[in-house]
Each structure stands twice: as C-alpha cells, then as structure tokens.
Structure 1
Amino acid sequence: MDIELVRTFLEVNRLRHFGRAAERLFVTPAAVSARVRLLEEHLGAVLFSRARNNIHLTPAGQRFLPHAENMVRSWQRAVTSVGGGERTDMVALGSLHSIWNVLLDGWLAQVYGQDLGVALQVELLSSQAVVSRMREQSLDLALMYEPPQARDLRVDAVSRVSLALFADRPGLTADEALSGYVHVDWGVQFAMSLSRALPGLPEPVLRVDTPEIARDFLCRRGGAAFLPETVSGGGSADGPLHPVTGAPRIDRTVYLVESAEAAESAVRDRVRAALAAWLEARA
C-alpha cells in the first residue's frame, strides 16, 4: 500500500477538511479525495463521513486510525535506519495540535536560529498517541494537558492556556452566544470545569479537536466557542471574534512529559531548556 495514502488519511482526520489537507500536502483537493477513495477501496470500508462542514471518522475509520499512525511511524523509522542510522543529536518532540498552535508558533525558527546543535522531529498527536509513544520511548519529550500519573513518566507543569468564550458578534450575553455553541476538545478536565461553571450548557452544534477549525466555523457560520486570545484575535483575514461578557474563563495547565527511564541526554536537556525559556517569555 502506498504510504502517501495513509499520510493523506491522517491529515484529513487531523484537519477535518479536504481542502486544508490538500494545502498541507501540497496537492489538489481532488488528489486528496482520490487518495482517500483509493485507500477505502484497498480496505473495503468507508473511512470518513462526509457531511458538509462536519467531516469525521466512521467506526471503520476509528478502527483504522491507530494502525495508520503505526504504519507511518514504522515507515519513518525505516527511512531513518536505511538512510544511515539513528542520529545521536535527534530529539523527537510530540505535542497536541492545540498546544502547538497556541503556544509554540515561531518556536522552531528561534531554536534553529540559536544553533543548539540539535535536529528536531516534531509530531502533532492525540493525547492517547502521545502517552503510547512516550512509553515506547519513540518520543523524547511531549506537551499535553492531562498526562497520566505514572512512575515511568516525568511530568512538569510548564505553561498555561487561558480560555474565554468568544462569539462572532459583539454584545451577546452568554445565553445568546451559547445557542450556537461549538465545543473544542480541550480535554476531560476542561469539560468537567465547563459543566460545573455552566450547568445549563446546551448541546454543541459542532465538536472539533482544534481551535483553528472552531474559529473558521464561527467566522463563516456564527456561534461561540472557548478559545485562547491568540486564536480568537484579529490576525485572520476573517476578522476578530468578540469576547462574551459574563462568561467564565477556564485555565488549562500544559505539562512537559518525558520518560523517567530514559538515559541522560545533553541534547534533550538543551531542547527542554529552550522550550522552558520560550514558554516563560510568553507567560
């Protein structure tokens, strides 16, 4: 099976949008659709539900997802091995997509500008995949909201994301804004805090796993979502969203996770220090 078919499947799942996946893969939307159809033919199953503005995995797609991630990971390892062996200066860094875009935009350029003598492999993953990869020791460092409390993992709080309710129109009350509520997956603790703060919260009109998708939807279709100011502000051509007065703010702690059993590494220490300095400067 062509590994690019699997990469395309993962990118569409991550972005929930064929057009944006095409941009990331440097192909046309038609090519993305063709790749997904060919993969579905190979597997004999439909992988995506293609409802308008709500592309999501079918049950078959959910079952295929961990296999797809393993296939791409194994291929990357094979390429590295055949190409001359593992680099001793390589650090594999994993992150949730929402953490990376909110806190680490621009960090890579700064790190490479400092010439730390390190090569980075960055992967944006789900929480479950991060934990699995840490335990496989195929990630050196990872950023996540809700790390497991386990003896084999070292966990340090390194930053915080403050979330507020933003709507597409100014002057709305919380009740008015929440009539078009879009739920962003900020983790289980966020959902619990939200249910305590807003016990009458209506069912969301849409559930997404990245704030950028929520912002795009709000700008095009209206509604409200809990977002950080860095995502909700006016940097987009669609214009800024508007804070909803009287709505609660919910903070999410960001943790840096690494294996407690990994050997000491000066290279990993340099990356950890660069991350800490960047996050402290943005606090």
Structure 2
Amino acid sequence: MDIELLKTFVEVVKTRHFGRAAENLYVTQSAVSFRIRQLEQSLGVDLFIRQRNNIQLTAPGERLLPHAKMILTGMQRAKVDVALANSTHKQLTLAGTANIWDAFLQFGIHKVVAAMPGISLVAEIKTQQESTRLLLERTLDLAVLFDPPKVDDLIAKSIHDLAIIPVSTNQCSDTSAFFGNQYVYVDWGTAFSLWHAKHFKENSPPYFRTSTGRIALDLIVQCGGSTFIPEALAAQMIDSGILHHITIVPSSSREIFMVYHKDNEQVEQIKMLVNLLHQIR
C-alpha cells in the first residue's frame, strides 16, 4: 500500500478538511482528493462521509485509522534505524502524557540526553491508551505514566512521587474560599480523582475542567482562580507572589511509573534511563 496515500488519509482525518490537508502536505486539493479515491478503490470501501465543511469518517475509515498510524510510525522508525545502522548510536523511543511532560519530564530530559551520548532519543507526547498500544506493538520502548496498565507483557517501575499542591491567585482562609475562587479541576489520573472525591465532595463544583495542568495554570494566572498543580510547576510563581500555596487545603501526590515491554531488546539502556529519570527532582 502506498505510504503517501496513508499519509494523506491521516492528514484529512486530522484536519477534517481536504483543503487544509492539501496545505499541510504541500500539494493541491485535487491531489488530496485523488489520493483518497485511490485508497478507497484499493480497499473497496468509502472512508469518508463528505458533507460541506463536515467531513466524517465512515466505520471502515475508523477501523483503518489506527492501522494507518501504526504503519506510518513503523516506517518513520525504520528510516531512523536504517540511518543509524552504520553508526554506534542506538535508538530509544520515549513517550509521556502532556501532564507528565509539563510537570516532570521537562525538568530532567536534558540530563538524560547528556548522560546517554550513545543513544538517539525520540521523545513524544502520547495519551495513556496510545502509549499502552504502542508498547504492546513494540513500536515504543518506554512510556512514563501515572496509571500503569496491568498487562502481563509490560513491566512498570516506580520512578517518582509528584507533589500536587493547592494554589490560588488569592489568599484563601479556608477550603470553601479555595473552591469558591473560580476553581479549576485538573484530571491528574484515577488515584487523584478518587482522593479528590473523598476529601472535597461537599465543596462547590469546579467552574472549569481540563486534562492538562498547563492549561489550568495559564487560566488562573490570566483570569484568577484556584487549582491543584504540581509543586515543581508552580514553584517560581509562588516565589514571585503570583500564586499562593494554600496550606490549609490538603495536598496530594501522584506516583509516576516507567513502563516497558518485558521482551525489549534494549533492556540495559532502558534500565539506565529508568535510573536517570529516578534522579529528577
């Protein structure tokens, strides 16, 4: 199957627009339409429901999407592997969720790179579900996650306890004031959700919810408010007086895990990387 057809298919899915897909691929809109027709003809199915300004995937299109992404990822990795074949470098692919990059990995990835000069590191943002799938497909070497999957083929190592503290743009005298000050709820994973429900079920519901700590932090700085945020991410703003650590409200923490496939051939490099990430503070 032509890789360019799959690239075009994934780009149309991402943009939901043939014209914008054409711009991103540096081809004409007619070329995009022709490629999609070629792909549909080769598979014998319609991949999109074409409506004006509303392009949706058909059921076969939904089924094709994860396979197309896997093929494109595999091809990209193959190109890198071939390019490294004549060098002494090895390649490791590392993925973390957006929250883990913001709150943890960004503070130590430079140390990892400096300490592993013989490794070509590929670092990406992936969701928990996508990381698990790629680990099982053996197209991802390591994933850094809050909630490690309970799968026999995957090994999970605890590498860090992330302190998550209550912060606010106002000085809050009690818990009610904290939650009443435009509280922003961040989804820090299953364990945090259970802890939050247990301790604060009587308080006012949040006026804003997000899955990303960076969004919450930017929002309360711009508009005022309260949220739970990793201490490392809020430290400078607390020191400068932009935010206040509300100590009267309980703090939480999240355990961070490094996950890899038990049959990964680069186990020595993985163990080295686990040790390096364990040193991030």
Q: Secondary structure at the match of 1:182?
A: strand
Residues 102/8 of structure 1: CA separation in 2 closer, same or farther (3 Å cut): farther
Identity of aligned residues (%): 19
1:206 aligns with 2:225: no
- Cα distance change on mapping 1:234 and 1:147 into 2, 3 Å: same
Q: TM-score, normalised by structure 2?
A: 0.71
Q: How does 1:160-199 map to 2 (within 5 A)?
A: 160-179=161-180, 180-199=182-201
Are residues 69 and 210 of structure 1, via their aligned partners in 2, closer, same or farther at CA, if it must alter by over 3 Å?
farther
Q: Relative to structure 1, is the Cα distance of residues 82 and 135 closer, same or farther in structure 2, using a 3 angstrom cutoff?
A: closer
Verify: 1:75 aligned to 2:81, yes or no.
no
Cα separation, 2, equivalents of 1:86 and 1:140: 18
Inter-CA distance 140–66: structure 2 relative to 1 (3 Å threshold)? farther
The equivalent position to 1:232 in structure 2, one of 231, 234, 245, is 234
In 2, Cα distance between equivalents of 1:84 and 1:175: 56
User: Larger Rg: 1 or 2?
Assistant: 2
Alignment of 1:86-235 (within 5 A): 87=84, 89-179=90-180, 180-234=182-236
1:65–1:169 CA distance, 2 compared to 1 (3 A): farther
Offset, 1:261 = 2.8
Task: Find the aligned partners of 1:87 and 1:269 in 2 and give their Cα distance.
Answer: 21
Residues 114, 176 of structure 1: CA spacing in aligned structure 2 closer, same or farther, 3 A cutoff? same
- Give the match's secondary structure for 1:130: helix
C-alpha distance in structure 1 between counterparts of 2:170 and 2:266, whole Å: 52
- Gaps (5+ residues) in structure 2? 33-46
Quote how far apart the aligned CAs of 1:253 are. Answer: 0.6
Question: How many angstroms does 1:148 deviate by?
Answer: 2.2
Q: Which amino acid aligns with 1:93?
A: L
Matched residues in 2 for 1:231 and 1:4: separation? 38
- Residue identity in the other structure for 2:136: R
1:213 CA displacement = 0.5
AA of the residue aligned to 1:267: Q
SS in 1 for 2:249: coil
2:82 is paired with a residue of what secondary structure?
coil
| Per-residue deviation, 1:151 | 1.6
| Deviation at residue 268 of structure 1 after TM alignment | 2.8
State the 1:225 CA deviation. 0.8
Distance 2:12 2:225 in 1: 30
Distance in structure 1 (CA, Å) of the matches to 2:128 and 2:142: 13
Deviation at 1:274, TM superposition (A): 2.4
SS of equivalent residue, structure 1 residue 122: strand
Which residue does 1:28 correspond to in 2?
Answer: none
In 2, the alpha carbon distance for the partners of 1:78 and 1:169 equals 51
TM-aligned CA distance change 1:7 to 1:226, over 3 Å = farther
Deviation at 1:272, TM superposition (A): 2.7
Partner of 1:25: none
RMSD: 3.7
Contact 1:80 1:86 in 2 (8 A): no
C-alpha distance in 1 between matches for 2:207 and 2:50: 27
Deviation string, structure 1 residues 139-175 (Cα, Å, up to 9, x no partner)? 1111111112222111111101111111122244321
What is the identity, as a one-letter code, of the residue corresponding to 2:276? A
Residues 113 and 196 from structure 1, CA distance in 2 versus in 1: closer, same or farther, beyond 3 angstroms? same
User: Which stretch shifts more, 104-113 or 253-262?
Assistant: 104-113
TM-score by length of 1: 0.70
Name the SS of the counterpart of 1:234 in structure 2: helix
**Cα distance change on mapping 1:166 and 1:65 into 2, 3 Å:** farther
